[in-house]
Structure 1
Amino acid sequence: MELQQMRYVIAVAEMNSFTRAAQRCLVVQSALSHQIARLEKELGARLFERTSRRVRLTPAGAAFLPAARQCLDAAERVAAEVAAAVGEVRGRLAVGLIPTVAAVDIPAALREFHQRHPKARISLSVGASDELAEQVRQGDIEVAFLGIPVTARPRGVMARKLAEERLVAVVSPDHPLADETSVDLRRLSSEVFVDLPAKTAGRAQSDLAFTAAGLTREVAFEVTNADYLARLVGAGLGVALLPPTYAEGLAGMTTIEVTDAPARAEYVVWGRESRAPAANAFLELLGIEEE
């Protein structure tokens, strides 16, 4: 059983096509098919069901796939560790972040990391804080940047607080509140809101603040994407509470100080288990020493 055969199986499973898998792997289809057939013979089981219309995993193939991914990850980790031992950082750096991260200039940090370690592969994913923290716990990503209520702390991961900031109200220029220099939560409670989905960390900081003040509010629009959230606010559909550093970059918006605004904390988090060389190098670049 060879690592390349495992790569071919994974490619076919992800592409649902031998032809597209061969194109992705930069080999002719006959060579890819031959290698998978050799592997199936060695295993004594077919990994794929092939018809004229589709390719899908057999039960044996479904059992093979996660183990193959683990083997490839382990092989890549071995190569990265050996390279690190001679002073070279290789392997994967998978970073997750919330759209409104502001404590770190992520593009600038990744640019510097790439300049220092050009042989490392970088992947970047954007999501909600709770989802990103879980991905770090599961080992799917190495480092993540989160925004959570100041009363909370990331669990099951190593964490370093980067900053705290009080949210501001954001409205369209023609909104009735646009001429106000400041408002409080009681005044805002009568407005219609655009916000992130309920029970997410980004939503919780605002919900907790209104509840603590004995107030309720109407969230008429729930949006999973912060950029699109801002577009709805710009269209005059409601008010949003956003971090000031993020709000400053929104064109055509009006920001208003909230005197009793909720605050959020930004964290960088990483896994509790031993980290890959690329993750160690990235954290070192951020000024976070190995713990």
Structure 2
Amino acid sequence: MELQQLRLFLAAAEAESFTRGAERAFVSQPALSASISKLEAEMGVRLFTRNKRNVVLTPAGRTLVKRARVIVGECSRAKDELKRHNIQSLLRLGVVNTLPITLVARLIEQYRRDHPGITLSVIDASNKDLEQLEQEDRIDMALTLLQDKPSGQRRFTRARELFRESYRLAVPADHHLSQSPVVSFNDLENEPFVIRSHCEHRKIIQGILKSREIRLNIAYVTNQDDRAMALIKAGIGIAIVPECYQAPDIVTCAIQEISTQRVIGFEWGDGENSDQVSPFIEFSATARWGQSRQ
């Protein structure tokens, strides 16, 4: 018994005609008749009662119809599953560009290693640009700052927090402030400063400085955190950075006037690839996000 024989048998049974069954199965009528005759010979039973106008299933034929539908259906489902297995699932992730690349790279490397069947496509962008990517349906989820945003036409209606962190002052290890557990903005007035122009809390920090009539001695302005850390290490200036930014020969201190924290987590919606989102979030939740601060 072959699968094609069962398919042709079902076509004839459902059409109640060898001619119409052949048309349905896209074969010639003689080919269908020959296939059914061979099947009857193999089974040792008559499957159809033939007359001039149509064909009618025998009791044995009705029994085989039930089995044949199950067999043909299962084979079709197996074929579809194997096709999907060969096509890698795609997950498009947007990452806010103020997260240390070491943390992001470690997460991506571990996930790709443990989930070889998933293609992970990652885009770095600012928090504002991530919202635009969301609106344009270019990402399935975002690893970003969680904050109150107008609903508007937003696609991402769900969120999950991963961790919270404060902002700290980063100075070279041999800097005179490196031994201070807590510093004040008054301590920074004459210090060369590296400004992170893309800092999400920059306006809040500027407001505090303005209220205290403190002017910073700006030595360098950059929108790249790796440059900022390199400049600090080289002694070009000091900077205010998120707590997760750590590097050899750089020390961070708490800042007395800054009590706000930034909340990092995932935002996502119910898109085409939503079945890939939850496993990635659960995997990410097990990552040691605080490791760089220990």
Shorter-normalised TM range:
0.5 to 0.7
- Report the TM-score when normalising by structure 2: 0.55
Aligned length: 200
What SS class does the counterpart of residue 264 from structure 2 fall into?
strand
Partner Cα separation in structure 1 for residue 272 and residue 263 of structure 2: 21
Given candidates 256, 265, 271, the residue that maps to 2:253 is 256
Aligned CA RMSD, in angstroms, stands at 3.6
Instruction: Provide the rounded CA distance (Å) in 2 between the counterparts of 1:222 and 1:262.
Output: 24
2:200 match: 201
Give, in whole Å, the separation in 2 of the partners of 1:89 and 1:169.
48
Structure 2 residue aligned with 1:72: none
| SS of residue paired to 1:175 | coil
Give the percent of matched residue pairs that are identical in Structure 1 and Structure 2: 18
Given that 1:178 and 1:256 are in contact with CA atoms closer than 8 Å, whether structure 2 keeps it comes out as: yes
Deviation at residue 107 of structure 1 after TM alignment: 4.4
Does residue 1:221 correspond to 2:220, yes or no? yes
Select between 202-211 and 92-101 the one with higher mean Cα deviation: 202-211
For residues 170 and 204 of structure 1, what CA distance do their matches in structure 2 show? 19
| 2:148 corresponds to | 153
Q: Structure 1 stretches of 5 or more lacking a match?
A: 1-81
1:150-181, CA deviations, whole angstroms, 9 ceiling, x for partnerless residues? xx434543333333222111112343433433
Contact 1:94 1:141 (C-alpha < 8 Å) held by counterparts: yes
Indicate yes or no: 2:177 matched with 1:180. Answer: no
For the Cα contact (< 8 Å) 1:183–1:256, is it kept in 2?
Answer: yes
- 1:214 and 1:224, CA in 2 relative to 1: closer, same or farther beyond 3 A? same
Partner deviation per Cα, 1:12-44 (whole Å, 9 max, x = no partner): xxxxxxxxxxxxxxxxxxxxxxxxxxxxxxxxx
1:265 aligns with 2:253: no
Q: Deviations over 1:56-97 (max 9, x none)?
A: xxxxxxxxxxxxxxxxxxxxxxxxxx86xx899943222232
Matched with 2:121 is: 123
Q: Any idea what SS the aligned residue of 2:128 has?
A: helix
Distance in 2 (CA, whole Å) between partners of 1:211 and 1:153 is 25
| Cα deviation, residue 182, structure 1 | 2.4
Contact 1:172 1:178 in 2 (8 A): yes
1: CA distance, partners of 2:107 / 2:133: 21
Q: Deviations over 1:215-246 (max 9, x none)?
A: 44344422121011111112222111112232
Superposition TM-score, scaled by structure 1 size: 0.55
Separation in 2, partners of 1:257, 1:192 = 18
Q: Using a 3 Å threshold, how does the CA distance of structure 1 residues 177 and 126 change in structure 2: closer, same or farther?
A: same
Q: Residue 246 and residue 108 in structure 1: after superposition, are their counterparts in 2 closer, same or farther (change >3 A)?
A: same
- 1:185-219 deviations in whole A, cap 9, x for unaligned? 22224433212226x52534533443465644344
Whether the 8 Å contact between 1:189 and 1:217 is mirrored in structure 2 is: yes
User: Contact 1:184–1:261 at 8 Å: present in 2 too?
Assistant: no
Contact 2:168–2:242 (Cα < 8 Å) also in 1? yes
Paired residue type of 1:171? V
What SS does the corresponding residue of 1:167 show, helix, strand or coil? Answer: strand
- 3-state SS, counterpart of residue 94 of structure 2: strand
Q: Who is 2:162 aligned against? A: 162
**Is 1:237 equivalent to 2:236 in the alignment?**
yes
Structure exhibiting the larger radius of gyration computed from Cα positions:
2
Q: Distance in 2 between matches of 1:236 and 1:185?
A: 19
1:259 Cα deviation from its structure 2 partner:
2.0
Match of 1:95 among 93, 96, 110: 93
Which residue of structure 2 aligns with residue 114 of structure 1? 112
The 1:170–1:119 alpha-carbon spacing in structure 2 relative to 1, beyond 3 Å, is: same
Question: Residues 233 and 278 from structure 1, CA distance in 2 versus in 1: closer, same or farther, beyond 3 angstroms?
Answer: same
1:130 Cα deviation (Å)?
2.2
Alpha-carbon offset, residue 113 of structure 1: 3.5
| Cα distance between partner residues in 2 of 1:116 and 1:232 | 36
Residues 194 and 221 in structure 1, CA contact (< 8 A), matched pair in contact too: yes
Provide the rounded CA distance (Å) in 2 between the counterparts of 1:275 and 1:183: 49
